[in-house]
Amino acid sequence: MELVITDSAAEAGVLAGRIMADHVRRGARAIGLATGSSPLGAYRELIRQYREEGLSFAGVQAFLLDEYLGLPPDHPQSYRRFIRDEFTAHVDFADSDVHSPDGNAADIPAAAADYEQLIAANGPIAVQILGIGTNGHLGFNEPGSSLRSRTRVKTLTPKTRADNARFFAGDLAQVPTHVLTQGLGTISDAGHLLMIATGTGKAEAVASAVEGPVSAFCPASILQMHPHVTVIVDPAAAANLRAVDYYRFAIANKPAWQSY
């Protein structure tokens, strides 16, 4: 695992975007996208590279981590709509190449299995960008999620619903209770996991995920079991880490030939 502490949240987003762009330039068949506010800076950098540096997503398949159950697909807070509005509609992604679990399917377990099959048929996902919930969730894998779980329905915790109410005009009643999410096993199949976390609200979750025990109670601690992980944090999100000096030393002395 590589821990990068940037000087600012803006710098964290640019670095995450650059790492994703490198994967696309190297010929990634599929990339994994995430919603929430954490990846927005990375998406802005990718859009900038598309406009100014010829980065192209033509032929790349994109897979979202998760989706709310029961929101109409055109609801502004459906993740299907969110990712198009914030990222894929601004670059040359074909809409049909941007995939998400079907939160409106009549048969939800079948929709979960279908999503797994779609990823398997189009993968492997070269790089998966990730945020982290304040309770350590990845995607919508809430505390207690099996470390080897696959795409399935999950019930959101009251904490996550409260955290996400800001996207629903602060109205908790509007936040769905259930979701479809890639499992921790599904996420772990990606070649490179790239987590971005900024702000003091994430400091405790980041420290648990990176330096705490591997535990289903902190789903993001599954990162410790993956062979290729980059965690990008700003100083606020790094505040609870114990080995900050070592992480900074390792980046300052990173061999010139070594990429992220």
Catalytic residues: 66, 135, 137, 142
Strands (E), 34-124: 61-64, 66-68, 98-99
> Which residues ranging from 62 to 81 are in contact with ligand GLP (CB under 6 A)?
65-66
What angle is formed at CA 99 by the lines to CA 94 and CA 101, rounded to 5 degrees?
160
Site for ligand GLP in 116-175 (CB under 6 A): 131-133, 139-140, 160, 164
- As measured in angstroms, the least distance from the Cβ of 56 to ligand GLP is 26
Q: Which is closer to ligand GLP, CB of 38 or CB of 221? A: 38
Count of other CB atoms within 10 angstroms of residue 62: 20
Distance between CA 144 and CA 217 in Å, rounded? Answer: 5
**Residue 31 or 55 with smaller CB distance to ligand GLP:** 31
The one among 36, 41, 183, 219 contacting ligand GLP by CB under 6 A? 36
Q: Which two tokens stand for residue 27?
A: 């010929």
- The overall longest dimension of the chain from CA atoms, in Å, is 53
Start-to-end Cα distance in the chain: 10
| Nearer to ligand GLP among residue 35 and residue 61 (C-beta) | 35
Residue 83 token pair: 């990712």
Residue 36: CB minimum distance to ligand GLP, A: 3
The residues in 85-104 that bind ligand GLP, with binding defined as CB under 6 A, are none
- Does position 37 bind ligand GLP by CB under 6 A? yes
Binding footprint of ligand GLP, residue count (CB under 6 A): 14
Choose one: 11-19, 30-38, 50-58, 205-213; the region binding ligand GLP (CB under 6 A).
Answer: 30-38
Residue 138 sits at φ, ψ, to 5 deg, of -120, 135
Residue closer to ligand GLP (CB basis): 8 or 37: 37
Helix ranges (DSSP H) in the chain: 9-25, 40-53, 79-86, 108-122, 158-164, 184-188, 203-211, 244-252
Supply the minimum distance, in Å, between the C-beta of residue 84 and ligand GLP: 16
Per-residue tokens: 160:
């996550």
Q: At its nearest, how many Å lie between ligand GLP and the CB of residue 187?
A: 10
8 Å CB contact between 33 and 64? yes
Contact (Cβ atoms closer than 8 angstroms) between residue 217 and residue 144? yes
Q: For residues 199 and 248, which CB has a smaller minimum distance to ligand GLP in the complex?
A: 199
CB of 167 to ligand GLP, least distance (A): 8
Binding site for ligand GLP (CB under 6 A): 34-38, 65-66, 131-133, 139-140, 160, 164
